[in-house]
Amino acid sequence: MSISVLVILVMIGLMAGVLSGLLGLGGAIIIIPALVFFLGMDQYSAQGTSLATLLLPIGLLAVINYYKAGELNIKYAMVIAVAFIAGGYLGSKVALQIPEDVLRKVFAGILVLIAIKMFLGK
């Protein structure tokens, strides 16, 4: 791994970490596009790398801060986590069957729709 790639990866991680702690986002919105645009990864590799990054160690300290502040619903988080495991498995199986260019367009379209909904919502 070259120094320039290492620097890019560190910057992606810092940006995703700050935005995750600040706004609760980072994986799909920051990491995947950054890996595709700055490091030329394909959509499949970017998604797999993002998922590997977001496993337990990444969110642990942020979760502790929210827990200490009384801003964490553990019961909800546990239910979502169990469903997320099943959904992640099934979603990855489907994603790997979709052509990469189609997958990238679906990904971008969902981000745009979410952004519009959030921007226009109450």
Residue 85: its pLDDT value, please? 81
Tell me the torsion sign for CA atoms 23, 25, 31, 34. Answer: negative
Q: What is the DSSP string of the chain?
A: --HHHHHHHHHHHHHHHHHHHHHS--IIIIIHHHHHHHH---HHHHHHHHHHHTSHHHHHHHHHHHHHTT---HHHHHHHHHHHHHHHHHHHHHHTTS-HHHHHHHHHHHHHHHHHHHHH--
Residue 58: its pLDDT value, please? 67
Residue 112: its pLDDT value, please? 92
Written as six digits, the tokens of 62 are 């942020």
Residue 30: its pLDDT value, please? 84
- pLDDT tens track, the chain, 122 positions: 899 999 999 998 888 877 777 666 666 788 888 899 999 998 888 888 887 787 666 678 878 888 999 988 889 888 877 887 888 888 889 889 999 999 889 888 988 988 898 799 87
